[in-house]
Amino acid sequence: MRHDEFIGQVQNRARLGSRGAAERVTRAALETLGERIPEGLCESVAGQLPQEIAEHLRRTEVFGGQGTGERFDLDEFLNRVVRRSGEDRPQAAFHTRVVMEVVGEATGPTVMSKLGDSLPDDLRRLVTSGSQGEMGA
């Protein structure tokens, strides 16, 4: 999947008004995910995404963040996405689900299964429920 297609899918499924908004929610969700999952898994996921999208996962290492593999729960995950995206919590949860759905299509079921296995139940539901799924925020 190419960058433009990825962002276009996020924009369409999330019903966002601009590509810039789709870029913003993609960046917010993936930077937060990059902080939460182990480094090796982060690289596995990033390696199958368009380079511009993959950099959001890698950003926490490169730009002096806490790094990958931090332990935090769904509440903290969504708080971080809210801070990064400027959205309210329900929007942030929905848009994260959309981004993760598109990540799943770009990377395939094996990577998504490993990603889900690396997360606690509450976060697993967020990243695997898809844009049409049920997920309380």
pLDDT reported for residue 129: 83
In a domain, 136, yes or no: no
Backbone angles phi, psi at 2, to 5 degrees: -90, 160
In a domain, 46, yes or no: yes
Residue 89, domain CATH = 1.10.490.110
Which amino acid type is present at position 64?
Answer: G
In a domain, 135, yes or no: no
pLDDT reported for residue 136: 47
pLDDT reported for residue 61: 53
In a domain, 73, yes or no: yes
Q: Which domain range does residue 24 map to?
A: 3-128
pLDDT reported for residue 25: 98
In a domain, 57, yes or no: yes
Spatial separation of the C-alpha atoms in residues 38 and 56, rounded to whole Å:
15
Number of domains in the chain: 1
pLDDT reported for residue 87: 96
In a domain, 79, yes or no: yes
pLDDT reported for residue 64: 47
pLDDT average per 10 residues of sequence, the chain (137 residues): 96 97 97 91 92 89 57 94 96 96 93 91 88 59
pLDDT reported for residue 63: 46
Helices (H), the chain: 3-14, 19-36, 39-46, 51-62, 74-85, 89-107, 109-117, 121-128
Q: Enter the pTM of the model.
A: 0.89
In a domain, 134, yes or no: no
In a domain, 120, yes or no: yes
